[in-house]
Amino acid sequence: MPLSRLLTLVIGLSIILGLMLWLISSLSQLYFQIAYTSPLLANVLLVLLIVLLGLLIVAFIYYMGLFRRSKKRKRRNSLRVPQQKTEAASENLKAVRRQVKQIQDEVARQALISRSREIESILSRGELRVVIFGTGSAGKTSLVNALIGRVVGRVDAPMGTTSAGETYSLNLKGLNRQLLVTDTPGILEVGVAGTEREQLARQLATEADLLVFVVDNDLRQSEYEPLRRLAEIGKRSLLVLNKTDLYTETDKETILARLRQRVQGFIAASDVVAVTANPQPARLATGEFVKPEPDVMPLIRHLAAVLRAEGEELVADNILLQSQRLGEEARSLIDTQRRQQAEKVVERFQWIGAGVVAVTPLPVVDLLATAAVNAQMVVEIGNVYGCELNLERGKELALSLGKTLASLGIVSGAIRLISTALQFQVATYLVGKAIQGVTAAYLTRIAGKSFIEYFQHDQDWGDGGMTEVVQQQFQLNSRNEFIKVFIQDAIARVVNPLRETADVDEWHQQD
Ligand SMILES: Nc1nc2c(ncn2[C@@H]2O[C@H](COP(=O)(O)OP(=O)(O)OP(=O)(O)O)[C@@H](O)[C@H]2O)c(=O)[nH]1
Ligand SMILES: [Mg+2]
């Protein structure tokens, strides 16, 4: 215990003791004065005093107990938040493992499994990971060197000195978790190698519990964007202005103020600090060069304060974020896979339907829509998305979509589109059948694509209803480039078979 504190304690205790002695002597004087006239009254007063004192002691103990309990509860509450997040992260990882089974692409599946194992092991190790991130040559490696207190990474003027992520362990007082500091390659370097390194750096940055973004001047737009994006996904970040030895005190303050203003909204002003990681040697009047000591204390102090106050929460937040991202990745892989399978179903039905419709004369144009939307196709697309539909429900859905196609004028629109495209490609005697067949294929496609959207969104047509989805699909599928490819396919699959049957008929007639 420091001497000053000991002295205060002794003086305080002496005052309390003196006051108590004074109180006791005054009370005993009062007691004897009253006892002189009425001993009974004096005794009653004494009993009352003892009861009052007893009550005071009980009340004191009671309130102390309450105070301590509420403090404990508060602490337990603050501990419970990270715990809940960690539990949520474990649940996410379990869900990912269940989803992974549905992924057919072996490479993608293995990548997801190994990422989920990695996150699990981070979860169990419980280290705090600080990632140093920023433009090439801003002084990231120099900062890591200064933080670690010895030269661990190569420092050089040209960009691209650091080409891979390097992790070092750092001791900070008062932290009950191990602290790891990762140096990353600089972003915004030119060339393919630079892009690859940047990708690695961004990956490492998204995995950080805490990000330290290093700049050596005002933020450029190309620096601002990645920093804002990382903050947007919830990455806790500090912004560090390095190389302050190159600036006068006023310039340094101006740059700091500008930095704080630019990142206002996603980084607090107190999280913007200035350091000198590797000051350049200065020339003395004697002509001698001296190298000043680095000054990274403002960052170390702030880092320690942030990690002590928020460390548990940051680790929990980050693990939750990582597991959510992995979940999203798994879902998006499954979505792509389902879409591909569902598109194959549509492709199959569009050509089957086309052949049948081409040889069945339809009295009314709008019937084409009903003929084109096959109930079995709806059932099969539903199955791809894990929805068990019976044929009855399939028919219902197919019919209502057919009606929508007709009511929106898409049937006549499609006929016009296909007629124009087929005009010069098909012999006159086949044109009627060909147009009918190919339009049927085209409408099947629009219907199928609309159903893919419907099942993709958990059997929901969205705010604009079926009409909007169908119109959107019609628009997407009426682009020139698409129509060209579609017609080539249609000629091979619908028109040529028609021509062959017509030739055979003619041959029979000649016979
Ligand atoms: N004047 C001055 N120069 C510095 C300071 N810190 C770093 N430098 C210089 O800046 C240059 C780049 O430093 P590095 O630490 O290699 O920068 P980096 O961000 O790791 O660079 P990359 O690994 O290429 O992305 C070197 O020449 C350093 O000596 C500083 O505080 N003051
Ligand atoms: Mg470096």
Which ligand 1 atom sits nearest the alpha carbon of residue 280?
Answer: 1
What is the pLDDT at residue 152?
60
pLDDT > 70 in the chain, percent: 91
390 or 29: whose pLDDT is higher?
390
What is the CA(143)–ligand 1 centre distance, in A? 8
Residue bearing the CA closest to ligand 1, atom 23: 162
Tell me phi and psi for residue 135, to 5 degrees.
-65, 155
The mean-pLDDT minimum among 32-41, 332-341, 470-479 falls in: 32-41
What is the pLDDT at residue 275?
96
| Total number of domains in the chain | 2
SS3 sequence, 376-405? HHHHHHHHHCCCCCCHHHHHHHHHHHHHHH
What is the CA(243)–ligand 1 centre distance, in A? 8
What is the pLDDT at residue 59?
86
With a cut of 70, say whether residue 2 has pLDDT above it.
no
With a cut of 60, say whether residue 74 has pLDDT above it.
no
**Same-domain check for residues 154 and 233:** yes
**Same-domain check for residues 409 and 359:** yes
Whose atoms come closest to the Cα of 138: which ligand? 1
If pLDDT is split at 50, 70 and 90, which confidence band does 487 have? very high
What is the CA(287)–ligand 1 centre distance, in A? 25
With a cut of 70, say whether residue 107 has pLDDT above it.
yes
What is the pLDDT at residue 408?
92
pLDDT > 90 in the chain, percent: 39
With a cut of 80, say whether residue 430 has pLDDT above it.
no
| Mean pLDDT of the chain, nearest integer | 86
Q: Containing domain of residue 160, as a range? A: 126-295
Dmax (CA) of the chain: 152
Residue bearing the CA closest to ligand 1, atom 13: 139
CA distances from 92 to 105, 327, 328, 336, 424 (A): 21, 7, 10, 20, 57
DSSP code string of 88-131:
HHHHHHHHHHHHHTT---HHHHHHHHHHHHHHHHHHHH--EEEE
**Same-domain check for residues 238 and 377:** no
pLDDT (tens digit, 9 = 90+) per residue, 237-252?
A: 999 999 999 999 999 9
**Same-domain check for residues 234 and 369:** no
Structure tokens, 270: 């107190």
Which ligand 1 atom sits nearest the alpha carbon of residue 242?
Answer: 31
Domain assignment present for residue 43? The answer is no
The mean-pLDDT minimum among 11-20, 174-183, 187-196, 364-373 falls in: 187-196
CB atoms within 10 A of CB 396: 14
Q: Kindly report the CA angle at 40 between 39 and 46, in degrees rounded to 5? A: 90
Which ligand 1 atom sits nearest the alpha carbon of residue 138?
Answer: 19
CATH of the domain at 209: 3.40.50.300
**Same-domain check for residues 282 and 406:** no
What is the CA(155)–ligand 1 centre distance, in A? 6
Domain assignment present for residue 119? The answer is no
Residue 301: strand, helix, or coil: helix
Structure tokens, 433: 């059948």
What is the pLDDT at residue 172?
80
What is the CA(183)–ligand 1 centre distance, in A? 12
Q: Kindly report the CA angle at 410 between 404 and 413, in degrees rounded to 5? A: 165
Answering whether pTM is above 0.85, one says no
Domain end marker among 246, 280, 295: 295
Which ligand 1 atom sits nearest the alpha carbon of residue 279?
Answer: 32
CA distances from 494 to 345, 367, 435, 447 (A): 18, 19, 10, 19
**What's the mean pLDDT in 378-398?**
94
Kind and range of the H or E run holding 330: helix 297-358
Domain assignment present for residue 285? The answer is yes
Domain assignment present for residue 102? The answer is no
Domain assignment present for residue 492? The answer is yes
What is the CA(122)–ligand 1 centre distance, in A? 31
What is the pLDDT at residue 354?
86
**Same-domain check for residues 194 and 277:** yes
**Same-domain check for residues 348 and 407:** yes
Residue bearing the CA closest to ligand 1, atom 12: 137
If pLDDT is split at 50, 70 and 90, which confidence band does 212 have? very high
Domain end marker among 295, 316, 348: 295
Whose atoms come closest to the Cα of 160: which ligand? 1
pLDDT (tens digit, 9 = 90+) per residue, 164-186?
A: 788 888 888 777 788 899 999 88
Task: Provide residues with CB under 6 Å of ligand 1.
Answer: 136-142, 155-157, 159-162, 185-186, 242-243, 245-246, 276-280
What is the CA(122)–ligand 2 centre distance, in A? 25
If pLDDT is split at 50, 70 and 90, which confidence band does 32 have? confident
What is the pLDDT at residue 203?
84
Domain end marker among 295, 326, 354: 295
Residues 6+ apart with CB under 8 A from 35: 42, 43
- CA 239 – CA 265 distance, rounded (Å): 13
What is the pLDDT at residue 508?
59
